[in-house]
Structure 1
Amino acid sequence: MSAQDLWFRRYHPAHAPRATLFCFPHAGGSASYYHPMSKALAAEFDVLAVQYPGRQDRYGEPLVPSVDALADAIHTVITPHMRGPVAFFGHSMGSAVAFEVARRLESAGHPTPALLFASGGRAPSRVHDDGVHRRGDAGIIAEMRAMGGTDARVLMEPDLLELVLPPLRNDYLAIESYRREADARIGVPIEVMTATDDPRTTVEEARAWHGHTTAGGSVHLFQGGHFYLESQGARVVEVIGGTLRDHLAGRYRPEVPAGQDVLDHP
């Protein structure tokens, strides 16, 4: 398997796709989390889900302990795929990873994504240490229960938890130690997607993403907690697909700053 094949999963090959969407997982997450999104978008878009080391079919590989190191590694393998229209989608920690990969592409003079969808994550200048990575196993499991997004069967099976806990703790360390200055910006529009009832990310912390772009963007508000993607999957796909179609057709107009929020699903 090539280095590029290690990093990207294409679950539903698209016939004549209009654009490519790279999806970056949350802390402890894996590429397969985006299987439903890939299926829903495959008629029009080529979805490539990023597979971080240390989980699923990459379980035997060393974990990457920082967002910057993870972005460095992805940057080295993603450039051959940056042909034609491309967008990034990242959820929670994945939004920070996507942002950092975009920064590296831009700094190196490589093609950059046309859009970045930042979902369920604090803006880079608003990330702070919640101390989750320093908790014992019971504390990490309690966090998993509180945040949702984990199959209840995993929480009940010691053997499965043994596989899940190391990458989860590692990723919490990565995102909780991540820091970026307030003036770190990319020239890519940022579409902010977040839940108004997210216990970890406030709407204000999510809105602050627009301080990290010189190209504006919009805000899409949902309900459903941190993993609103699961209960609001159809609407999430509608927002992503609709925004990409507008961009491809030249109809895309950033609403923020100086715009208003879009309350997508009250």
Structure 2
Amino acid sequence: MKLYCFPHAGGTPGTYLDWLQPLTNMVELVPVFYKSRELTLGDLVQEIASIILNQSIDETFAFIGHSFGSLVAFEVAIWLQDQGVSTPVLLILSGKRPLIYSSKKQRHVLCDEDFYRDILSMGNFSNESRAEKMLLKLFLHRVRADFKMSETYRYPQDHIAEAEIIMLNGLDDPETNNDEMDKWDLLNRGNCEVYHFTGNHFFIFDHQTEIIDVIRNKLTKYLSLNETEGRPL
């Protein structure tokens, strides 16, 4: 079984591959790269979906994404679904409001200085080295492009996923609203479970053990079903 890893805005899948290492004894972790930040969200989704389709014919797979990665993962699942081809059995999403709500902010229109400062305020950067913060500055255009795709996204009412959804939420995440998170169940036809954890937008790195346990338990169910039905893992 493959688990495709969708990074946050400006991020690389390497961060999540390290974080998800405890799962490598049960699934194959597959990094998803956003090759071009010049694409529209629709073009990016189609590009990624086409690659996944070629890699996972007749194979069970799932998606995991954080923040912007949750949006991309969801839309890739919808694209595959609309094509009538293999689709993920499970969407593990985190750090994202239900897509029926428009973005709270429009950071992508800020000047570089304000945009950079706002990104740092989201958390996960307070302990970064000066060199790593400078690296963020160098790739600010890439981060801005991802934020633009996320912040200008408008949810199409007919985008309803067939896959089960697990939503992970940080209770102190300024990007989400704790009272809204249950609305994710309006975006799929399968089971939808929301798990809340203490922490800010990057809470997942503070709760690795608990979150890995949640994911492992859910993946075990699908692996068991595959063995029963004789489907390739």
Equivalent in 39, 43, 53 of residue 21 of structure 2:
39
**Are 1:127 and 1:175, in contact at CA under 8 Å, matched by a contact in 2?**
no
Residue 228 of structure 1 corresponds to 203
Q: How does 1:80-119 map to 2 (within 5 A)?
A: 80-82=54-56, 83-119=58-94
Shift of 1:171: 0.7
Shift of 1:164: 2.2
Amino acid at match of 2:207: Q
**Are 1:27 and 1:168, in contact at CA under 8 Å, matched by a contact in 2?**
yes
| 2:182 matches 1:207 | yes
Residue 63 of structure 1 corresponds to 37
Cα distance per residue 1:109-150 (max 9 Å; x no partner): 111111111111112211325110011122122222211234
Instruction: Identify the range of structure 1 (142-151 vs 67-76) with the bigger mean alpha-carbon deviation.
Output: 142-151
| 2:157 matches 1:178 | no
Amino acid at match of 1:166: H
Shift of 1:203: 2.0
Cα distance per residue 1:79-131 (max 9 Å; x no partner): 02224221111110111101111001111011111111111111221132511
| 2:48 matches 1:74 | yes
TM-score by length of 2: 0.88
SS of the aligned residue for 2:179 comes to helix
Superposed structure 1 runs of 4+ greater than 6 Å apart: none
Shift of 1:168: 0.7
Residue 25 of structure 1 corresponds to 7
Q: Distance in 2 between matches of 1:224 and 1:149?
A: 10
Equivalent in 163, 166, 176 of residue 188 of structure 1:
163
Shift of 1:224: 1.5
Cα distance per residue 1:136-189 (max 9 Å; x no partner): 12212222221123462257754x234321111111101000111344201111
Q: Distance in 1 between matches of 2:130 and 2:160?
A: 38
Structure with larger RCO (C-alpha < 8 A, sep 6+): 2
Residue 255 of structure 1 corresponds to none
**Are 1:66 and 1:178, in contact at CA under 8 Å, matched by a contact in 2?**
no
Cα distance per residue 1:36-84 (max 9 Å; x no partner): 234221111101121112xxxxxxxx41443322111101111022242
**Are 1:124 and 1:181, in contact at CA under 8 Å, matched by a contact in 2?**
no
SS of the aligned residue for 1:174 comes to helix
Change (3 A) 1:130 1:52: same
Change (3 A) 1:180 1:157: closer
SS of the aligned residue for 2:37 comes to coil
Residue 128 of structure 2 corresponds to 152
Q: Distance in 1 between matches of 2:217 and 2:131?
A: 36
**Are 1:186 and 1:214, in contact at CA under 8 Å, matched by a contact in 2?**
yes
TM-score by length of 1: 0.78
SS of the aligned residue for 1:126 comes to coil
Q: Distance in 2 between matches of 1:136 and 1:127?
A: 22
Residue 229 of structure 2 corresponds to none
**Are 2:60 and 2:89, in contact at CA under 8 Å, matched by a contact in 1?**
yes
CA RMSD of aligned residues (A): 1.9
Cα distance per residue 1:177-209 (max 9 Å; x no partner): 011134420111111111111111112333222
